[in-house]
Structure 1
Amino acid sequence: IYSMVRTFEIVLGKLWNRLFSGVEVVNPEIPSELAAQDYEIVFVPTHRSHLDYLLVNYTVFHSGLPSPHTAAGINLNFFPMGWFLRRTGAFFIRRSFRGNRIYTAVVEEYMAYLLTHGYPISFFPEGGRSRTGRPLPLKTGMLAMVVKSFVRNYERPIAIVPVYIGYDKVMEVKSYLKELSGGAKKKESMFQLLGARKLLKMYYGKAYLSYGEPIILSRFLDATQPDWKTFADSKPEWLSSAVNDLSQQVSKHLNEAAVITPISLVGLALLASNHKALPLEELQAFIEKMIELNTRLPYHANVKVMSHNFAEILESAQKLKAISLYQHAAGDVAFV
C-alpha cells in the first residue's frame, strides 16, 4: 500500500499545482501532537467536493502521518477511480444501512478492527456533499460505530478531529447549480471522469483545510456518562443520546474551525448591497470593517481570516472571475 500511497502523493501534488494557487493548512500541529501522544485519530471533515477525499488524505500523509482509511460512498466505486481509491486506503459503504443488520454488523466490526489496530480513520459526517456551502445536519451512524467500538475496547485512546474544508471556487459548481435548479444528479462513472478533464484547465483559487479543536472521546464520555466503562459488553441505553450530543459537539467544532476567505468577504459585501454593486472605496471600507469585527469579537480563536490586504482580496476575486469592475471617472465600481 505504501508504494501506491507514495504515488498518490506525487500525482496529487501535481494536481493541486494545476488546479490551485495554493493549499492553505490551518492548525497543522493538532494531528501531529495527537499522534505523538499515541491517540487513534478519527478525522471528520466537512464535505463540499469530491476533491475532499483526496485533499484530506494528501494533507495528512504529506505532514508525515499515516494516510487515513476513508469511508467513501459506494457511488465512487467505479473503474478506475474505485480501484485507485481502494489501494490508497478507501473503503466503500452504502448510503443507508437501514433494515440490513448483517451489513451494519460487518461495517461495525471493520471499523472496530481499524480503531483497535492503530489505523487512523476518516469519514464525512454530513453524509454527502453540500450543494450550497452551508453545513448539513450530521448523520450519526458512523459516530455511533466509533463510540461503540471504544466502549468495547478503550485501551487505545481516540481523538475525533473536526476538519473544515473550503475552496475559493468548487470544481462542481456548475453541476450544483443544475441540481439546485431541479436537475437530476448525474451518476458518477468513468465517462463522467473523462469529461471532467476540461475542468482541469480552469482556475479555482486556493483550497483551505483547517483542523478544529479535537474531541477526546474518553473525556467526552466521562463528562456525559461517568459510568460508561461498565457497559463494555452490551449496547447501553444511553448510546443514542450520547452520540447525538457528540454530533452536536463535532458540528460546533467544525464551525469554529472555519476560514474566512477573500472571496467570501467580497461576496458578503456585494450580495448584501442593494444592487449587488459597490464603489471600490465602500467595498474596501466594508471588508476592513468585517475583518476588524472578527478581530475584536472573534467567533472562536481557531477562525482565521486568510488575507487582511484589500488589494490582494480584490485581485483574488478578479482572478476567479467572480466580480467585474466598471471604470468611472468618479471611481470604479465592483459588481457581481
Structure 2
Amino acid sequence: MATKVHNSDGWLYDPIIPDTDAWPIVQLSNNREQFIKELVELSIQNIKETLGNNPANIKDELARTLYTERIRLTQTPWKADAPDEKDFWNKVKKDMVRINAGHENPHAFGHEDLIHRIVNRYAEEIAGIFDVQAYDFAKRVTTAGFSRLLNASQGKGISRFFESRHNLHDKIHLIGEIDHVRELAKQGTVVVVPTHSSNLDSMLIGWAIQSIGLPPVLYGAGLNLFGIKILAWFMNRLGAYKVDRRKKNLLYLETLKMYSELSLRKGCNGLFFPGGTRSRSGMIEKRLKLGLLGTALQAQRMNFLEHGDEGKKLFVVPVTINYNFVLEAQSLIDQHLKISGQEQYYVENDDFSTSTKMLKFIYRFFTASSEIAVRFGAPMDLFGNRLDEEGRSFGPNGNEVDIKKYFFSNGEITKDLQRDAEYTRMLGERIVESYHRETVVFCSSILAYSAFRIIKKRHPKMDLYGLMRLPSDDLVIRPKELMDSVDRIVDRLREMHANGEVQLEAEIVKGNLSSIIKKGIANLGIYHAKLPLMYNQEGDFQSQDIKVLFFYHNRLEGYELHKYI
C-alpha cells in the first residue's frame, strides 16, 4: 500500500524515486547532446529503410520536404518559429540545386549531408530540456497559486485569497488504480494516456502525476504554445518536446516518432493524448491516433531485443479527466458542428493565444466551485493484457503470457511493421474500452443528457442542425418530465456501476433524485454566459444554449442510455 504524507499542500504520495538525479528525464536532459546524436542516426536509418534504401527515393523525398517547407514559410509564421527558418531552407534549396546540377553520383555525400542537416535541425527543435529547479518552482507555484484561487472561490472578501483552508485535493479528486500504477512505475516505464477535453488537461495531469509520487513525464506540446511567454518558460524547462503539426513530411514525422521511442527506451515515463487533440464534440474518445502509441510498442520490442528477459516492460495507464464544465465548450462544439464529421484543416481557436488570456482562463477555472475527478484506470501492457502488481501479463483466459513472444518470428524477435500496426490497433481498442469503464459520471452529465434527449425525442424527424436552431420556447422542459427521465437514467447507471461498466460520483450512488438534480443544475456549464440548463421564472427547466447542452450531453454517448428516455 502506498504511503501518503500530509503537508501544507495537501495529501501527497511519497515519491517513488526521492533522488531527482536518478530520474530518467533528468539523466536524459544531462546527456542531451549524445541523445540528439543517437536520435539523428536512428531517425535517418528509419527514413532510409522506409524509402527502401534507394538513393533516388531519398533524393525525391528531400525535394518533397523542401517543397512542403517552403510552402509553410509562405504562411503566417508562429511566434515560436526559429528566426533563421527562411535562411536555413534557402540554403537547403541552393545546395540541392548545386548537387542536382552537378549530376553527382546518387551515392555522393551531398544528399547524405542534406538529410543529416535537416533531421538534425528537426531533432534540435523537438527535444526539450529538464531543469529540476524550474520543476520545483513550477510545483510550488501551481500548488500554492491554485490553492489560493480555490480559497477565493469559497467565500467573500480578499482575505479568503490568503487563507489555506482548502487545497487542490479538495477540488481535484485523484482516484482509481493509484497504488497499482505506483508499483508498476518502480519496475518499468509508464505511458500515461488520458482523455483530452480542455487546454488545462496537460497542466492538470502533470500535477496529478506529481501528486501520486511518479517522476515527471515527457510529453508533446504544440509548437504554437511555445509562443506564449509564460508557458514557453515552463515548458522549455520541464521536458516538453515540441510538436509542429504543420510539418507532415517523412523526415519530420520519423524524427518525432523516434524521439518518443528512444526516450521510452531510456526509461522516461511518457504522456500521450491518443485522441490527438481536444474532443470537440464533448464525447469520450472513440477513434485514437495511434502513431505515438506505436512508438511505445517499438520501444518495448527494442528493450527485449537489446536486453532479453531483462528488458524493461512498458505499462500503459489510461486516465479519464472528468469535468463538470469545460470553459472552451462553446468554441469546441462550434468547431465540431462546422467540421460536420469530416477530417479537414481548421484554425485552432485562441483560448490560449497570449499569457494574459491563459492566466484569465486559469483564474476562471479554479475559482469555479465544481469538482474534478482524475481517475487512473487499470494498467495494461502494450497488447492490452491485464497486469498484476509485479507487472506480469495475463491474457483474456486468465493465463500468464510472455509478451516477448508477441515479437517472435521463426524463433527470434523481428521487426514487422504490419504486425505491430495491428497490435497497436488492438491496444487502441482496449484503451477506448477503459475510457468508457473509467469515466466518472457527474450529476451534471445526467441532467445534460436527459434534457437534450427529451428535446430531441420531441422532434424525431429533425436533424442535428435543425435542433440547433430551435426557438427558446421549444427548449423548455417540465420538471416532472425531466425528473422521470433522470430517475430512469440513474437506475440504469447504478446497474452499470455495479457491473463495473462505468464510474459514478458519490451523489449518484447514494443520493436521492432531488439531490442529484439539485447538484446537477448547480454545476452544469457553470460560468458559461448562457447556461445550457437552468430554472426559468415559471419553475421549468430551460436551455439558453442548446449547442452547449449538446456538448455536455455527448459525454454519455456510447452507453445506450437513450433507451431510457
- TM superposition score category, shorter chain reference: 0.7 to 0.9
Structure 1 distance, partners of 2:496, 2:228, is 49
Partner of 1:193: 355
Q: Relative contact order: is structure 1 or structure 2 higher (C-alpha 8 Å, sep ≥ 6)?
A: 1
Larger Cα Rg: Structure 1 or Structure 2? 2
Structure 1 distance, partners of 2:373, 2:334, is 25
Partner of 1:4: 134
Residues 288-299 of structure 1 aligned to structure 2 (within 5 Å): 288-298=487-497
Give structure 2 stretches of 5+ with no counterpart: 1-130, 154-169, 305-310, 340-345, 386-392, 394-400, 456-473, 544-565
Does the Cα contact within 8 Å between 2:194 and 2:273 map onto a contact in 1?
yes
Partner of 2:376: 211
Partner of 1:242: 423
Asked if 1:65 corresponds to 2:219, the answer is no
Partner of 2:149: 18
Structure 1 distance, partners of 2:249, 2:348, is 26
Partner of 1:324: 534
Partner of 1:334: 541
> How much does 1:146 deviate?
0.7
Partner of 2:549: none
Does the Cα contact within 8 Å between 2:383 and 2:424 map onto a contact in 1?
no
Summarize deviations over 1:87-132 as a string: whole Å, max 9, x none: 223111233774323x344334432332233221001111111111
> How much does 1:190 deviate?
7.4
Q: Say how many residue pairs are matched.
A: 331
Asked if 1:147 corresponds to 2:147, the answer is no
Higher strand share: 1
Partner of 2:330: 174
Asked if 1:265 corresponds to 2:446, the answer is yes
131-140 or 282-291, larger mean C-alpha shift: 282-291
Does the Cα contact within 8 Å between 1:212 and 1:302 map onto a contact in 2?
no
Alignment TM-score, normalising by the size of structure 1:
0.85
Structure 2 distance, partners of 1:147, 1:194, is 40
> How much does 1:172 deviate?
1.5
Partner of 1:311: 515
Asked if 1:114 corresponds to 2:263, the answer is yes
The DSSP-based 3-state class of the residue aligned with 1:119 is: coil
> How much does 1:151 deviate?
0.5
Does the Cα contact within 8 Å between 2:274 and 2:289 map onto a contact in 1?
yes
Asked if 1:99 corresponds to 2:249, the answer is yes
Identical aligned residues as a percent: 19
| Residues 96 and 196 (structure 1), Cα distance of their counterparts in 2 relative to 1, 3 Å cut | closer
> How much does 1:142 deviate?
0.4
> How much does 1:162 deviate?
0.8
104-113 or 40-49, larger mean C-alpha shift: 104-113
Partner of 1:286: 485
Summarize deviations over 1:287-332 as a string: whole Å, max 9, x none: 333222122244962621112234254244235254221355xxx4
The DSSP-based 3-state class of the residue aligned with 1:56 is: helix
Alignment TM-score, normalising by the size of structure 2:
0.53
Counterpart of 2:541 in structure 1: which amino acid? Answer: A
Does the Cα contact within 8 Å between 1:258 and 1:302 map onto a contact in 2?
no
Summarize deviations over 1:232-261 as a string: whole Å, max 9, x none: 463454112111112112222122211111
> How much does 1:57 deviate?
0.8
The DSSP-based 3-state class of the residue aligned with 1:238 is: helix
> How much does 1:55 deviate?
0.8
Structure 2 distance, partners of 1:45, 1:234, is 28
Does the Cα contact within 8 Å between 2:189 and 2:267 map onto a contact in 1?
yes
Asked if 1:156 corresponds to 2:305, the answer is no
Q: 2:288 aligns with which of 117, 127, 138?
A: 138
Does the Cα contact within 8 Å between 2:351 and 2:357 map onto a contact in 1?
no
117-126 or 295-304, larger mean C-alpha shift: 295-304
The DSSP-based 3-state class of the residue aligned with 1:217 is: coil
> How much does 1:31 deviate?
1.8
